[in-house]
Amino acid sequence: MVYTSKDMIKKAILPAAGLGTRFLPVTKASPKEMLPIVDKPLIQYSVEECEKCGINDFVIITGKNKRSIEDYFDKSIELEASLIKTGKSDLLAEINTHLNSNYAFIRQSDPLGLGHAILCAKPFVDDEAFAVLLGDDIIDPDETLLADMIDIYETYRAPVIALQQVPDGEVSRYGIIGGDKVEDSRYADSVFKINTLVEKPSIDLAPSNYAVIGRYILTNDVFEILESIRPGKGGEYQLTDGLNALLQKRDIYGYLFRGKRYDAGDKFGFIQATISLCLKRPEFSEALKEYIKDLVKTF
């Protein structure tokens, strides 16, 4: 089901060049974007989230050792032939979900940070606004976060960033905003007008505990800003710093997401996402519940 009717946002940038250091050792040889939650790679969840909102053009920023992402979004002639030959044609639809959309791949030669990764997509994005989804953040497929953000973008015609409140101890893991709530009839208590953004501040320097989660609707003028920023936290070109600089030129809004999100780039978050999304699958749900009930008795 496609949620949004106006389909104003057509394109999404999916940064996938990170080294996956939080998930070593497996990411030494496998891209973290290809780690499976149940039977689909992480990046497929971002793609499906976009497709539900009428977004079908993807610019994927890859890096070294990420070739399997391109293979995943390509046809596999040999596999198809083998499935047909062995009478498993019913699986063809499952391996061809990429046919719903268009994909462009850009290789970020140096891992210089998220701001730099987004800038690599500049030649492939026209004047239009676009979405950015960070694949580590898995949003429960029943939520309508991205559709709501597009709706807010359509109201204000300004960039929109997804936020969640995090405990003080986690503030230094995120981009953190300062801002004021906007009175808004449809999204009462959930829309912020942002006045500052700081990448991964210590708690004493944090303007709030509203954290940027990996969903953004951005406007094209962010590219010019990203071209001019200096390296920030960790010596990397930070998207957060670019957005903070963009505040000098235009309003930016935050949308407080109160639904379910999993940080699948973190080992425990990945386990939580796997169990939760497995429990939503009718073919596994009852058996998994029974299994967990029995299992916990033995620990």
Residues found near ligand G1P in the complex (CB under 6 A) = 114, 134, 136-137, 174-175, 199, 211-214, 238-240
Q: Which residue is nearest to ligand G1P (CB)?
A: 175
Give the residue with the Cβ less far from ligand G1P, 47 or 243. Answer: 243
User: Is 33 within 8 Å of 135 (Cβ atoms)?
Assistant: yes
Minimum gap (Å) between residue 191 Cβ and ligand G1P: 18
DSSP code, position 203:
G
Give the residue with the Cβ less far from ligand G1P, 62 or 238. Answer: 238
Give the residue with the Cβ less far from ligand G1P, 69 or 134. Answer: 134
- How far apart, in whole angstroms, are the C-alpha atoms of residue 197 and residue 176? 6
Written in H, E and C, the secondary structure of 51-95 is HCCCCCEEEEEECCCCHHHHHHCCCCHHHHHHHHHCCCHHHHHHH
Strand partners for 105: 60
Minimum gap (Å) between residue 152 Cβ and ligand G1P: 19
3-state secondary structure of 266: coil
3-state secondary structure of 102: strand
Minimum gap (Å) between residue 286 Cβ and ligand G1P: 33
Minimum gap (Å) between residue 199 Cβ and ligand G1P: 5
Give the residue with the Cβ less far from ligand G1P, 63 or 214. Answer: 214
Minimum gap (Å) between residue 212 Cβ and ligand G1P: 4
Give CA separation, 93 vs 97, 104, 162, 203, 270, in Å: 6, 22, 32, 48, 26
Minimum gap (Å) between residue 84 Cβ and ligand G1P: 41
- How far apart, in whole angstroms, are the C-alpha atoms of residue 171 and residue 92? 44
Give the residue with the Cβ less far from ligand G1P, 191 or 211. Answer: 211
Give the residue with the Cβ less far from ligand G1P, 137 or 148. Answer: 137
